[in-house]
Structure 1
Amino acid sequence: MHPKVIFFDLGGVVCRFHRERRLAALGEACGVTPEQVESELYASGLISRWDLGLDSSSEIHRTIQKELGFPGNIRALQEIWCRAFDPDPEVLMLVDSVRPLRTALLTDNDPLLLDALPDLLPQVASRFDALLFSCRLGSTKPEPTVFTQAVDIMSAAPGEAVFIDDRADNVAAARELGIAAIHFRDASALGADLAALLPR
């Protein structure tokens, strides 16, 4: 195939995602347990709401101040938020290797992370032509609208796109729309998959 754009998932592909780091750091800052943080943010559905873009970064900050007693400013919260992400240097090298094809992040994440990424994880944000977050798209994977909006934004057709994700249901959803999708296992396997897929 001759793709125009390659979409990479963030947590689980470009970065290893460690939710426990965020929970521990936020719990320490607020004087509560990580389990309390998880209950207030994840079990309550707030994270899902924020991933859909239903609150701004400042609104997220105010909610965490109110619900957990977070004492810091929004920058301090962004720093804690980003601790969950550990960039994978081997995957980042693969992102560089597919140039001159266009690349984009396609991730289910919130405005707090989107606003923070260029400053706090510049080695990730600078690698991509577009940062396509569910909070901007208004829906999360594996909803078909996520993929159709993403290819439209990148001025491509489904058959001109490649999508990489660590979740099988997201990969299946992309394939149903005619997007060539790769189920991520590790950087080495991804390198082989990309080499087999892209023209030499």
Structure 2
Amino acid sequence: MTHSRGNAAPHIDVIFFDFSGVLAEEGFIEGLRAIGRAQGLDPEAAMHTATDLCYSTGYVNGRADEAAWWNAVRAATGMTGTDAALRAEIMNRFTVRPEMLRAADAVRAAGLRTAILSDHTNWLEEIDAAHGVYRHFDRVFNSFREGLNKRDPGFFTHATAIMGVAPARAAFFDDNVGHIGRATALGIQARLFTGHDAFRADLAALAPQVALPAGWPG
């Protein structure tokens, strides 16, 4: 899935960034695992069940509220605790990565447009209110507001159409292999985010005109 270094760089107009796992630490998954461990549950099973319920209840698409999702999670996994206590375990782990926001700024400085493409909830807006994430991007596609999510290829089609960019001229960084596969199948230049070094190399191959700040990521 990585770009062949021997090929000419594609012409990229827009770069989409996932939020959790790319622009910030993966607070959702790690928070659910932590809750599972603390409550004597299988942390992986609890995380997967709660994640799937985020989709099946419609919470990730804005068709159910947080309380309905937590009620479904408690019923399915045996988790206990108030909504506020459980959400704190997740929200406290969404640590924004300032170096990635600087990278997004560098992309815009090079004349490209940027967007967030995230399967998230109302929590993303709370994180933005606290950390000013959105100002680094031209558009934010939050599944909770768009009514679509990245398990549906239509979310990618929707985002590229709104941005007015052909899929082949869009790049996308995400830490989820499934999302990368769906984006790639549509012709988007999708790259799996695994860390700073791979990101730097992939960005240089996709958009060599982008100059990351001196000393990045430090």
For this structure pair, what is the TM-score category when the shorter chain's length is used for normalisation?
Answer: 0.7 to 0.9
62, 82, 85: which is aligned to 1:70? 82
Give the CA deviation at 1:41. Answer: 8.4
The residue type equivalent to 2:113 in the other structure is R
1:101-140 to structure 2, matched below 5 A, reads 101-109=112-120, 111-120=121-130, 122-140=131-149
Aligned positions, number: 190
What is the SS of the residue equivalent to 1:86? coil
Q: 1:127 to 1:90 in 2, by over 3 A?
A: same
CA deviation profile, 1:111-150 (whole Å, cap 9, x unmatched): 3213312212x24332222221222333322421010011
The residue type equivalent to 1:103 in the other structure is T
Is 1:171 aligned to residue 184 of structure 2? no
CA deviation profile, 1:147-195 (whole Å, cap 9, x unmatched): 0011112122212211111122221211111111111111122112111
Relative to the length of structure 2, the TM-score reads 0.70
- Fraction of identical pairs, as percent: 34
The residue type equivalent to 1:43 in the other structure is T
Residue in 1 that maps onto 2:18: 9
Whole-angstrom CA distance in 2 between matches of 1:60 and 1:168? 25
Contact 1:78/1:113 (<8 A) preserved: no
Whole-angstrom CA distance in 1 between matches of 2:176 and 2:154? 17
Whole-angstrom CA distance in 2 between matches of 1:69 and 1:166? 30
Give the CA deviation at 1:105. Answer: 1.0
Give the CA deviation at 1:107. Answer: 1.1
Q: 1:96 to 1:43 in 2, by over 3 A?
A: same
What is the SS of the residue equivalent to 1:163? strand
Contact 1:51/1:140 (<8 A) preserved: yes
Q: 1:4 to 1:79 in 2, by over 3 A?
A: farther
What is the SS of the residue equivalent to 2:15? strand
49, 54, 64: which is aligned to 1:47? 54
List alignment gaps of at least 5 residues for structure 1.
none
Whole-angstrom CA distance in 1 between matches of 2:129 and 2:88? 10
Is 1:145 aligned to residue 172 of structure 2? no
The residue type equivalent to 1:137 in the other structure is E
83, 88, 92: which is aligned to 1:83? 92
Return 40-49 or 122-131, whichever deviates more.
40-49
Contact 1:167/1:183 (<8 A) preserved: yes
The residue type equivalent to 1:70 in the other structure is T
Q: 1:71 to 1:138 in 2, by over 3 A?
A: closer
Relative to the length of structure 1, the TM-score reads 0.75
